Chains A and B, each alone.
Chain A
Amino acid sequence: MDIYLAQLMNGLVYGMLLFLTAAGLSLIFGLMNVVSLAHGSFFMLGAYLAFAVVRETGNYWLALLISPCLTVLVGLVVERFFMRRLYRRGHLDQVLLTFGFTFVFFDAVRSIWGSDIRKLAPPVSLEGSIALVGGMFSTYRLFLLAFGALLALILWAVMEKSRLGAMVRAGVDDSQMAAGLGANIPALFSGVFGAGVALAAIGGVVAAPVLGLYPGMDGDILIPSFIVIVIGGMGSLRGAFVGTLLVGIADAFGKAYVPALSLFLIYLLMAVFLLVRPQGLFGIKGGVAPAGMVVAARAALSATLRVKVIAALVLLALACYPLLVPDYQRTLVSEIFVFAIFAMSLDLLLGYTGLPSFGHAGFFGLGAYTVIVLGALFGLNGWTGVLIAVPLTALAAALIGFFCVRTSGITFLMLTLAFSQLLYSIAFKWRDVTGGSDGIGIPDRPNIFGWSLSEPIVMYYVTFGFCLLCYVGLRRLIASPLGHAFIGIRENESRMRAIGYSTGLYKLLSFTIGGALAGLAGGLYALFNGFVSPEVLHWSASGDILIMVMLGGAGTLLGPVLGSAIFLLMKNLVSSYNDHWMMIIGIIFIACVMFFPGGVWGILSSRIAGRKPDSPPRPGTTPAEGIASGDKAPTGAAPGASMTVDGAAR
């Protein structure tokens, strides 16, 4: 059979599957300005529910009907009872909320159906293959193509030809204006969210016989879907369609001819598009919709005597702690210190510069791999490794940042995510150097002043020292003119630009410093752990660190430290007697996003300083979004302009 034809077929099939998720993702984004990170979870849920239905009834077609319906119900609950409550709080909080749900769904799927790969047989009527133009094709795959094309056609007809579709498109253009003409926006949001979930779930059902079922299939479809909508243009159905075919085919041919580089090809495609056409192929919305951070600016705590005393006591306690406890706890707290550095480095981006990075683990992992690989392959001393790792990650951050800082808000988030996945795939694929999925280790730890780091107590003081150093350094940075520029960009980038700052450069600088510090944390982690595997680079690792920052309180320095402590303690505590720690973390995170946007430190610090905690804005007192913005935003920019309103009001 013609090999090209076979690859083309593979590409088209994969493209179709991608289309079903990407189309919904893109529409939801276009209308609601929210990237639903749970979209992959609905894909997974659809697949597993179908698996359950087929096991009960043996009827694939019934599963194709029931599973999407059930999944839509779940999706509507998420939209109606969680996301809707955060409409007024800004889009990033909603994104984070959907991220919390990925934990919940992942854990649910894993505990119900287990971690093993499951298989779903295609319906009997579609088994076998058919001979067509010079080749044999699996009947099921042909069905997939036809089915996908039919759905795309229906979707296109609804969107382009019906009044409902016009309403959705009007909402995508300018939801505030649509509201002023009588469009019931909350209902429209629910409808589109539900339709998007339905598409993803259908995608999951039809994909199951081809791709198999496993927890983690959510991320595997989500990331390429992101790339698709970056390429195709957000909010554009046509863009999603063309984008999926491009990515699908590039992927198939890449896998066949340059297997080592197959993943790069897609990312390369994306990078090229971002440079040449940042708004994507068919995007009308610029790729730079400001999503802004809704992290309340918290004035640096005034160094009153009370605060100084508390700080001194805490430091003293931390210094004495390892003398009083066994090794296990020394190790645990050392790990907390390492992750505290990592979390603070992310907060420099997220909380201080307003850059919501979802790929920060990439730099952490790069730092860790540098130390371990140099140690394992060349016998290089761990400290030398760290000394090399930091500038190397800084370089990588500068390079990646060069692409990313051109965008902001949600696009930025997706790009950083995609780049970190690129690093992940390198670590995964480059077996000779990185050991692939098995990971790689170093035989022994280096010394410091004659003491070996393999002693937990030595490790404790070393990580403690680095953590303190980073804290003090970042504190100074934040207080410096440079730090003020970062904060200015977070508050109102266009104003900073207007008064003569080249904000792109500053953002790049912040990104690079943050990346370098994450590299340092990664290097220390390598020394601490002596072993590294691709998991440290995975997007869920980026999510974990984001959770730590948000949990503790973004836009502060102690918040992330506290957040990483809480996260890791909980992970250790809960996972020691209960398998469902992901579910629990997910729920706590969701609660945190919904009810304590300032994080734990936000609550604590106001207690210490004797202030009342900042209450979330009451409805009715927040400024109207969109067309209420003071600047005369051109038509179509209004949905994105909402954040400038918030910024101005503050």
Chain B
Amino acid sequence: MLELDAVHSYYGDSHILQGVSFTVQEGEVVCLLGRNGAGKTTTILTVMGYITPRSGTVRYQGQAIAGLAPYQVARRGVGFVPQERGIFPSLTVRENLTVFSRQPGSALQAAGQAVKGASAPRAPWTLERVYKVFPRLHERERNLGFQLSGGEQQMLSIARALMLNPDLLVLDEPSEGLAPMIVNEIVTVLRGLKNEGLAILLVEQNLHTALALADRHHVMNKGEILFSGTSQDLERNEDVKRRYLAV
């Protein structure tokens, strides 16, 4: 459903992404790995429309989306969880969840046409369901965004993306800087989403988390994908692990 082909992205004059290609299929969890500065976030921002690639194509559900504004990409059914979490500090937890929430199916209308074979019907995300998955958020419903701890912010950021009822969830290092307990909790939630058939594009630095979740992995370095393979392939490839991942 997501397809990048030979994507080149720049920050001003610095050439960051140097021909990135990969796909995310329906119901699949794909992980981008790589050291700091490898270009993972840049890839995500290119997918989301924050950066327009100078060449190459980005397709989502068969349509070219490179050049669209972030809101247009989001409205096509992509749920975005940025690396900084992006919680709105002066909104309450509840407002953070509801402010941009959408009904399931509205994504297709936003795209202007129904896409064949898109999203098998999944249970819709509502405030109640989100609160059931993240009881902590329910407790803190009335707190303002800036009062949350790092782990709570991460949960809120994921929950907020779910409230868009997306067909593809894009997460940038959800485990970064969190205590192992909370990472486990988040991994459990993400695994639940995967079992439901939600497609996920995940950026991870933590090999353990990546292996626990993803079907396929792409290892990036200096803006290029140097290794692609399944969890098994990656686990066996000591060379890649040593050279491009901090293992």
Interface residues of A (CB under 8 A from B): 163, 166-167, 169-170, 172-174, 176-186, 284, 619-628, 630, 632-636, 638, 645-646, 648-650
Contact of A176 with B11 in the complex, beta carbons under 8 Å: no
Contacts of A622 in B (CB 8 A): 12
Contact of B100 with A181 in the complex, beta carbons under 8 Å: yes
Question: A628 vs B82: C-alpha distance in the bound complex, in angstroms?
Answer: 10
Given contacts A182-B102, A635-B153, contact A284 B160 (CB under 8 A): no
Given contacts A173-B91, A649-B14, contact A621 B54 (CB under 8 A): yes
Contact of B13 with A638 in the complex, beta carbons under 8 Å: no
Query: Closest residue to A177 on the B side, CB-wise?
Result: B86
Question: A517 vs B75: C-alpha distance in the bound complex, in angstroms?
Answer: 55
Query: Closest residue to B81 on the A side, CB-wise?
Result: A180
Contact of A166 with B98 in the complex, beta carbons under 8 Å: yes
Question: A163 vs B102: C-alpha distance in the bound complex, in angstroms?
Answer: 12
Contacts of B56 in A (CB 8 A): none
Contacts of B99 in A (CB 8 A): 163, 166-167, 170, 181
Within 8 A of A (CB), among B55-85: 67, 69-71, 74-75, 80, 82-85
Contact of A182 with B86 in the complex, beta carbons under 8 Å: no
Contact of A620 among B52, B86, B102 (CB under 8 A): B52
Question: A646 vs B74: C-alpha distance in the bound complex, in angstroms?
Answer: 25
Contact of A623 with B98 in the complex, beta carbons under 8 Å: no
Question: A638 vs B84: C-alpha distance in the bound complex, in angstroms?
Answer: 10
**Chain B interface residue count: which class?**
35 or more
- Shortest Cβ gap from B159 to chain A (Å): 12
Contact of A181 with B153 in the complex, beta carbons under 8 Å: no
- Shortest Cβ gap from B220 to chain A (Å): 16
Contact of B11 among A623, A626, A632, A638 (CB under 8 A): A623
- Which of A169, A182, A183 is the most central at the interface, judged by chain B CB atoms within 10 Å of its CB? A182
- Which of B145, B160, B164 is the most central at the interface, judged by chain A CB atoms within 10 Å of its CB? B145
In the A-B complex, list the 9 residue pairs whose CB atoms are closest, starting with the nearest: A649-B12, A624-B50, A177-B86, A620-B52, A182-B74, A181-B100, A179-B70, A173-B88, A166-B99
Contact of B67 with A180 in the complex, beta carbons under 8 Å: no
**Given pairs A173-B145, A621-B52, 13 additional interface contacts (CB within 8 A):** A163-B98, A166-B95, A166-B99, A170-B99, A173-B89, A180-B80, A182-B71, A623-B12, A633-B84, A635-B86, A635-B89, A636-B146, A638-B84
Query: Closest residue to A629 on the B side, CB-wise?
Result: B84
Contact of B85 with A635 in the complex, beta carbons under 8 Å: yes
Decide yes or no whether B90 CB sits under 8 A from chain A: yes
Decide yes or no whether B10 CB sits under 8 A from chain A: yes
Contact of A636 with B89 in the complex, beta carbons under 8 Å: yes
Decide yes or no whether B87 CB sits under 8 A from chain A: yes
Contacts of A284 in B (CB 8 A): 89-90, 146
Query: Closest residue to A633 on the B side, CB-wise?
Result: B84
Contacts of A634 in B (CB 8 A): 84
- Shortest Cβ gap from B68 to chain A (Å): 11
Contact of B83 with A638 in the complex, beta carbons under 8 Å: no
Decide yes or no whether B45 CB sits under 8 A from chain A: yes
Can you report 25 residue pairs joining A to B where beta carbons are below 8 Å apart?
A: A166-B95, A173-B88, A173-B89, A173-B90, A177-B88, A179-B70, A179-B71, A180-B86, A181-B80, A181-B100, A620-B52, A620-B54, A621-B52, A624-B45, A625-B50, A627-B83, A627-B86, A632-B84, A635-B86, A635-B87, A635-B88, A635-B153, A636-B89, A646-B12, A649-B13
Contact of B88 with A170 in the complex, beta carbons under 8 Å: yes
Within 8 A of A (CB), among B139-190: 145-146, 153, 160-161, 164
Contact of B74 with A174 in the complex, beta carbons under 8 Å: no
Question: A284 vs B145: C-alpha distance in the bound complex, in angstroms?
Answer: 12
Q: How many pairs of residues, A versus B, come closer than 8 Å at their CB atoms?
A: 128
Given contacts A174-B88, A185-B71, contact A180 B82 (CB under 8 A): yes
Question: A649 vs B85: C-alpha distance in the bound complex, in angstroms?
Answer: 23
Query: Closest residue to B160 on the A side, CB-wise?
Result: A181
- Shortest Cβ gap from B112 to chain A (Å): 15
Given contacts A169-B90, A624-B51, contact A184 B70 (CB under 8 A): no
Question: A650 vs B14: C-alpha distance in the bound complex, in angstroms?
Answer: 9
- Shortest Cβ gap from A268 to chain B (Å): 29
Contacts of B50 in A (CB 8 A): 176, 180, 624-628
Decide yes or no whether B48 CB sits under 8 A from chain A: yes
Contacts of A163 in B (CB 8 A): 98-99
Q: Contact flags (1/0) for B84-114 with A, using CB distance below 8 Å?
A: 1111111100011011101000000000000
Query: Closest residue to B12 on the A side, CB-wise?
Result: A649
Question: A179 vs B10: C-alpha distance in the bound complex, in angstroms?
Answer: 20
Contacts of B52 in A (CB 8 A): 619-621
Question: A626 vs B80: C-alpha distance in the bound complex, in angstroms?
Answer: 15
Contact of A627 with B82 in the complex, beta carbons under 8 Å: yes
Given contacts A184-B71, A627-B50, A649-B14, contact A169 B80 (CB under 8 A): no
Question: A166 vs B88: C-alpha distance in the bound complex, in angstroms?
Answer: 10
- Shortest Cβ gap from A218 to chain B (Å): 31
Contacts of A635 in B (CB 8 A): 84-89, 145-146, 153
Contact of B10 among A186, A621, A646, A648 (CB under 8 A): A621
Contact of A167 with B84 in the complex, beta carbons under 8 Å: no
Question: A179 vs B51: C-alpha distance in the bound complex, in angstroms?
Answer: 13
Question: A620 vs B69: C-alpha distance in the bound complex, in angstroms?
Answer: 10
Query: Closest residue to A622 on the B side, CB-wise?
Result: B12
Contacts of B146 in A (CB 8 A): 284, 635-636
Query: Closest residue to A163 on the B side, CB-wise?
Result: B99
Question: A184 vs B96: C-alpha distance in the bound complex, in angstroms?
Answer: 16
Contacts of B54 in A (CB 8 A): 620-621
Given contacts A180-B50, A183-B71, A649-B12, contact A627 B100 (CB under 8 A): no
